[in-house]
Amino acid sequence: MKKIAFAAVAFALLASPALADEKEDAVAARQAFFKQLGGEMGPLVKIMKGDYDAAAAQQHADKLAELSTTDISPFFLEGTSNQDMPGKTEASAKIWEDMDGFKEKFTALQTAAATLKTEAGKGKGELAGAFQAVGASCKSCHDAYREK
């Protein structure tokens, strides 16, 4: 019996760092993903504020739309909120309390990004209109599920 108990304790001690690493990896992947999204948004803002370049606008819109089709569920493991990992993430525990609402907001981003892809190369006004919907979907999610 002692051997079984020891084995169970040893396994738990060995598994704990692996689980911590898995959670830290999920947070790192989540942050990298959203940084990529932002990396496509920034150039689009510059295009809207400066000289319109249809090819560049289309390139960034295409990439944003492609990124928005990513399955983000592996990035949101239980136990990876800012309450669980203080100082490492801004993801509110509200995400896991309201996963359906969170998914709904991400679906809104996907829809807006698909529209942006369709409109980006048509002109500065079309780009700006479609971009506004993308920004609004980002803000909506940040307001509900991000804590600083």
Cα separation values, 104 from 31, 98, 138, Å: 20, 10, 12
pTM of the full structure: 0.84
Angle of helix 124-145 relative to helix 99-119, nearest 10 degrees? 170
- The 10s digit of each residue's pLDDT in 101-123 is 999 999 999 999 999 999 999 99
Q: Are 27 and 80 a contacting pair, CB within 8 Å? A: yes
Question: What is the count of structural domains for the chain?
Answer: 1
d(CA 139, CA 80): 21
Residue 3, amino acid: K
Say what the pLDDT of residue 148 is.
83
CATH code assigned at 89:
1.20.120.10
What is the span of the domain harbouring residue 114?
2-145
Q: Which pair of tokens denotes residue 36? A: 């990529």
Say what the pLDDT of residue 124 is.
97
Which regions in the chain score pLDDT beneath 50?
1-17
Say what the pLDDT of residue 19 is.
55
